[in-house]
Amino acid sequence: DAGVTQSPTHLIKTRGQQVTLRCSPKSGHDTVSWYQQALGQGPQFIFQYYEEEERQRGNFPDRFSGHQFPNYSSELNVNALLLGDSALYLCASSFWGVGYTFGSGTRLTVV
C-alpha cells in the first residue's frame, strides 16, 4: 500500500517564477493538507482540500493556491516566488483528522 507520494523531490526556481508541486494521497484518504517548513522551524499549515474544494486556509498570501482532483490527488501552486518561499513543502493526507500520513516533501530553493 503506497503512502503519500510527492513530486518533485527537489527543485530550484528563480525569483518571480511560478512553481507547481504535486501530491498523491494514501489509499483511502480523501483529505489533503499542505504545509511549509522553513529551515529550523515547525511545519506551518497552508491549506486543506476536501471534495475538490479548499476547506481551510492558514495565514498565507493568495500567491499560494491549490487544487484537488477527483482522484484526491492535489497540487500546490506558488506564483511570483520570493526568496522567503524557499522551504520544504510537505503534503499530508488524512481521513477524519485522526490518521495523518506525510510525504517526504519537496525541497524548493528560490534563487
Partner 1 sequence: AQSVTQLGSHVSVSEGALVLLRCNYSSSVPPYLFWYVQYPNQGLQLLLKYTTGATLVKGINGFEAEFKKSETSFHLTKPSAHMSDAAEYFCAVSAYSGAGSYQLTFGKGTKLSVIP
Q: By CB under 8 A, name the binding residues for partner 1.
A: 33, 35, 41-45, 48, 50, 55-56, 90, 92, 94, 96-98, 100-105, 107
Angstrom CA distances, 13 to 16, 26, 62, 82, 86, stand at 9, 28, 19, 10, 9
Q: For the CB of residue 95, give the shortest distance to partner 1 in the complex, in Å.
A: 10
The CB-of-28 to partner 1 minimum distance in angstroms stands at: 16
- The whole-angstrom separation of Cα 34 and Cα 92 is 6
DSSP assigned state of 61: -
- Nearer of residues 54 and 82 to partner 1, judged by Cβ: 54
